Amino acid sequence: MSQSSFCFRELDMSYNELRKDCLLDRWVVIATERSRRPTDFALPKQETAKTAICPMCVGNENMTPPALMLYLRENGEIKKSQDPLVGERPKNWIVRDIPNLYPAFGPPKQPGDEKQIVKSECLWNAIGQHEVLVESPNHDEDPADAELPQLGLLINAYIDRLKELSAKPYVKYVSIFRNYRIEAGASLSHAHSQIIATPMVPTIIQEEQKSSKEYYDNHCKCVFCHIIEREAKSPRLILDSVDFVVLAPYASINPMEFWIFPKKHAQNILNLTADEVAAFAKTLKVSLKALKDLVNDPPYNFGFHLAIAPQTQDSYHWHLEVYPKLATWAGFEKSTGVYINTVTPEEAADSLRKQTKTTNF
Ligand SMILES: [Zn+2]
Ligand SMILES: [Zn+2]
Ligand SMILES: [Zn+2]
């Protein structure tokens, strides 16, 4: 046996990092010891089961409940409308918002029900709304490849639905999210987002709102504005444009996770200008395209974090969080709420930053 066979690997004396989210009481192990490069995740794609008839495709409007909101193209103009309760439903839609057939949260069934949501401390009626937003007549539309005007219409539709739902007195939060590919929970392959209005503020958002309010009360400054300034000079910066920044969060729990922040302070998307909507569409497309090209079109979820109550106006700052689904959470994560991330946020940002530079329009 040669002498080299007895050589041990040089001992690495550094530790994995245990990072804590700056707003949430949540820990993540950044496992540099087991680190993987972003391209290591390029797995073969799992095909979505093709249904014989897609209920979201043009011509099948009668397979769904009547649309609550439609954007119609008429004589070259975009018109907002809704499906009639009886009679022919329009087929010239470009965005179509429908009630979910199997809602997690449903509207009040009787007048007055919305005033009695809380039955006891641990039992509430799940009153709210659950909608499916069909993003395009094009079945395979993907935000990473979509035309920017269509993506702009999708963002306008998010704004319109948020406006209507957040005005309901029993709605305390509106979750707008997207599941991309079957592995990330999309049961139908037609391009769609979901919108769920809830009678309480969900825990993660509530924690963010509480911590940012505390920071505001102590520093007279929004913590997210502070994070944006600080991270713009960090190795976690992915994209910096006039109106938006894209960052890999310091304590990312998912490999290749990134968040999109508007530079202008606002607690939600309701007052975005037309130019800001266009800039957001471009930022979303460029970052999702970078992820798609870098890691072979991976499944992902994204969700808006926002606030609607007047008391959070100065302290909360909306953002969109994108969670690529590249790892499986198992016993440790599920039983402890502590996550292990095998791609450092700095490495994720570096690869995504380089990839965004190759996107042309
Ligand atoms: Zn379809
Ligand atoms: Zn802010
Ligand atoms: Zn957040």
Segment 303-336, tens digit of pLDDT: 999 999 999 999 999 999 999 999 999 999 999 9
C-alpha–C-alpha distance, residues 243 and 228, integer Å: 12
* Residue whose pair of structure tokens reads 């508007």 in the numeric block: 262
Residue of higher predicted confidence among 204 and 35: 204
pLDDT at 208 over 90: yes
Tokens of 42: 């390029």
Average pLDDT over residues 91-95: 97
Alpha-carbon distances of 182 from 46, 47, 187, 262, 325, rounded to whole Å: 8, 8, 6, 29, 11
* Residues surrounding ion ligand 1 at CB below 5 Å: 54, 56-57, 139, 190
Query: DSSP class of residue 316?
Result: -
* Residue whose pair of structure tokens reads 């970078």 in the numeric block: 290
Buried b (16+ CB within 10 A) or exposed e, 88-112: ebbeebbbbbbbbeeeebbebeeee
Q: Which residues pair with 245 in a beta bridge?
A: 240, 261
3-state SS, residue 120: strand
Give the closest ligand to the alpha carbon of residue 54. Answer: 1
Using 50, 70 and 90 to split pLDDT, how confident is the model at 39? confident
Contact 153, 187 (CB under 8 A): no
List, for residues 6-32, the tens digit of each pLDDT value: 444 555 668 999 999 999 999 999 987
Tokens of 280: 């957001």
| CA 317 – ligand 2 centroid, Å | 5
Tokens of 327: 């790892």
Using 50, 70 and 90 to split pLDDT, how confident is the model at 37? confident
Q: Are strands 27-30 and 339-341 parallel, antiparallel or unpaired?
A: parallel
pLDDT at 3 over 90: no
Residue 358: per-residue pLDDT: 86
| CA 316 – ligand 1 centroid, Å | 37
- Residue 61's contacts (CB-CB under 8 Å, 6 or more residues apart) are 67, 83, 89, 90, 91, 93, 96
C-alpha–C-alpha distance, residues 37 and 285, integer Å: 23
C-alpha–C-alpha distance, residues 100 and 195, integer Å: 9
Q: Are strands 258-262 and 244-247 parallel, antiparallel or unpaired?
A: antiparallel
Q: Are strands 192-198 and 319-324 parallel, antiparallel or unpaired?
A: unpaired
Residue 12: per-residue pLDDT: 61
Give the closest ligand to the alpha carbon of residue 319. Answer: 3
| CA 150 – ligand 1 centroid, Å | 16
* Helical (H) or strand (E) element with 166: helix 148-166
| CA 102 – ligand 2 centroid, Å | 36
Give the closest ligand to the alpha carbon of residue 50. Answer: 1
Tokens of 70: 């439609």
- Residue 4's contacts (CB-CB under 8 Å, 6 or more residues apart) are none
Give the closest ligand to the alpha carbon of residue 63. Answer: 1
3-state SS, residue 336: helix
Alpha-carbon distances of 124 from 63, 115, 128, 129, 265, rounded to whole Å: 32, 11, 11, 15, 34
List, for residues 212-236, the tens digit of each pLDDT value: 999 999 999 999 999 999 999 999 9
Contact 317, 216 (CB under 8 A): no
Give the closest ligand to the alpha carbon of residue 266. Answer: 2
The share of the chain scoring above pLDDT 70, in percent, equals 93
SS3 content of the chain, % helix, strand, coil (to 5): 30, 25, 50
